[in-house]
Copies of this chain bind each other. A is one copy, B any other.
């Protein structure tokens, strides 16, 4: 090839890339983004005061080895020089998301120099007691909530510009001026788009279920901002997987369906050029996706969320508006569906992020097959609700083919358990997604889910996110009592360990589990962990009876 041809080819290549085909029209995108903007909820603000000064005490029996112990009243702190004690910890008594304000008050002579104060904000006691540095490999160290503030003029009132998520604030002198001063008038302007009080639970509800519900509601409330955030501390953004579960809980509690609507439109407006949804999007500085953050399972769950939204609200207009996005997501499956009816997991896994759960070593082949069947069935339901089932009339056959293949290739009739083709791993996720996909009969599902308790080398779930699907699977196949007990054991375990909000990762036998190599990086108020609200309120007969 001569140089000229190389040049021409380079130029055309560039033009081709610059004008790459967008599956959606700009008009569609503008409309969806406009709808998303129209539905930005107004945040409710409240001013919250610290309740007391605490100290963190090492305690092997406490969650992560630390517990907060009452030290003295807040008013006393407001009158004590920061130079007189190394550090103070204020306890706001509950998890808050918002903006921290404090005053700096001189105590003796006229201040003549800046003061420098370090603040560390924590959702759980260990964050106040664990040094953040040296930082570990994993997510950005800057997520950890410590800030050094230079107060140029004393007295002054300062607002830390960063939005924070915390119950505890450690206040430390960083650089001492020559005069004495106190930090006073600490408060938090807390923000949420949750509003109103969800209906009270029936009087007969057991105390532990009430507690779980209360903590779940707080979790949801804190994550409800101008989108459904995954966690107000980290990552502070909309992910489809979190949206799906938050919307479920919202439907049975705050009923802010405008927020769900906003999120569904926003995700549509920010879908990839290919038409597939990005798994996560950002609102600031302007709405934009995490480019090419394609999560296969999340894209499919979007469809389920649209169906749930329609059923909760009857808002056909929105479902119609989003229909072409929903339909497009179903096209992911045929890309990987093989002649034999199985998804080509290895190929899909190379091209997409298949999330399923945070669990080291989890092999996701079976889960993907089950989740795909589940999502296709739900999408077909949605099509029927919209009278559009003809547009997806190939789905029933595809579902059947995939179901048959799952039974043929993954199911071990002897053990009643599912395992993958290349990896014989037995996991919770495999069994529960087969159950949720309806691959098994109720009886078979019961057998599989029960067998998990007695089999060896079972890979457990790693997060409340995956555990949600386990509870749903138990309920779907009628293991109501098991569902109730599992829910109370798992989420009740967090409550008993002092949770104000439910955690991103929870393993009853390992307080230090972290997907990020460093447990203070975990989010301790995480959207996907709020779903007891949904279970307790959707299935009153199961969860509210003594």
Q: A: which residues have CB within 8 A of B? A: 109-110, 112-116, 135, 139-143, 147-148, 150-153, 155-156, 162-163, 174-178, 234-235, 237, 280, 282, 284-285, 288-291, 293
Asked if A140 contacts B290 (CB within 8 A), the reply is no
A323 to B113, CA, bound (A): 32
Asked if B142 contacts A116 (CB within 8 A), the reply is yes
Asked if B289 contacts A110 (CB within 8 A), the reply is yes
Asked if A176 contacts B285 (CB within 8 A), the reply is no
A237 to B112, CA, bound (A): 9
Residues of B within 8 A of A290 (CB): 110, 112
Whose C-beta in chain B lies nearest to the C-beta of A138? Answer: B178
Contacts A/B (CB < 8 Å), 7 sampled: A112-B237, A112-B290, A113-B142, A116-B141, A139-B178, A142-B150, A142-B175
Asked if A110 contacts B143 (CB within 8 A), the reply is no
Whose C-beta in chain B lies nearest to the C-beta of A293? Answer: B110
Asked if B155 contacts A162 (CB within 8 A), the reply is no
Asked if A288 contacts B112 (CB within 8 A), the reply is no
Residues of B within 8 A of A147 (CB): 148, 150
Asked if A178 contacts B291 (CB within 8 A), the reply is no
- From B113, B135, B150, B177, A175 is in contact (CB under 8 Å) with B135
Q: How far is the CB of A157 from chain B (nearest CB, A)?
A: 9
Asked if B176 contacts A150 (CB within 8 A), the reply is no
Give 6 new A-B contacts, CB below 8 A, not counting A112-B237, A142-B175.
A110-B288, A110-B291, A135-B175, A140-B175, A142-B150, A152-B163
A162 to B114, CA, bound (A): 10
A289 to B150, CA, bound (A): 22
A116 to B290, CA, bound (A): 20
- From B113, B142, B151, B285, A143 is in contact (CB under 8 Å) with B113
Given A162-B152, A235-B112, A288-B110, A178 contacting B293 (CB threshold 8 A): no
- From B114, B155, B285, A140 is in contact (CB under 8 Å) with B114
Given A235-B113, A284-B153, A141 contacting B175 (CB threshold 8 A): yes
Whose C-beta in chain B lies nearest to the C-beta of A147? Answer: B150
A153 to B285, CA, bound (A): 7
A109 to B278, CA, bound (A): 14
A422 to B291, CA, bound (A): 80
Given A135-B175, A177-B140, A155 contacting B285 (CB threshold 8 A): yes
Residues of B within 8 A of A178 (CB): 139-140
Q: How far is the CB of A462 from chain B (nearest CB, A)?
A: 21
Residues of B within 8 A of A148 (CB): 147-148
Asked if A113 contacts B139 (CB within 8 A), the reply is yes
A235 to B155, CA, bound (A): 16
Residues of B within 8 A of A177 (CB): 140, 142
Residues of B within 8 A of A112 (CB): 235, 237, 280, 282, 290
Residues of B within 8 A of A153 (CB): 282, 284-285
Whose C-beta in chain B lies nearest to the C-beta of A112? Answer: B290
A436 to B122, CA, bound (A): 63
Residues of B within 8 A of A143 (CB): 113-114
A284 to B147, CA, bound (A): 24
Asked if A142 contacts B163 (CB within 8 A), the reply is no
- From B140, B174, B175, B285, A156 is in contact (CB under 8 Å) with B285
Residues of B within 8 A of A280 (CB): 112
Residues of B within 8 A of A155 (CB): 285
A177 to B235, CA, bound (A): 13
A282 to B179, CA, bound (A): 15
- From B142, B152, B174, A114 is in contact (CB under 8 Å) with B142
Q: How far is the CB of A292 from chain B (nearest CB, A)?
A: 8
Q: How far is the CB of A175 from chain B (nearest CB, A)?
A: 4
Given A152-B163, A153-B285, A284-B153, A109 contacting B140 (CB threshold 8 A): no
Residues of B within 8 A of A115 (CB): 140, 142
Asked if B150 contacts A110 (CB within 8 A), the reply is no
Residues of B within 8 A of A234 (CB): 113
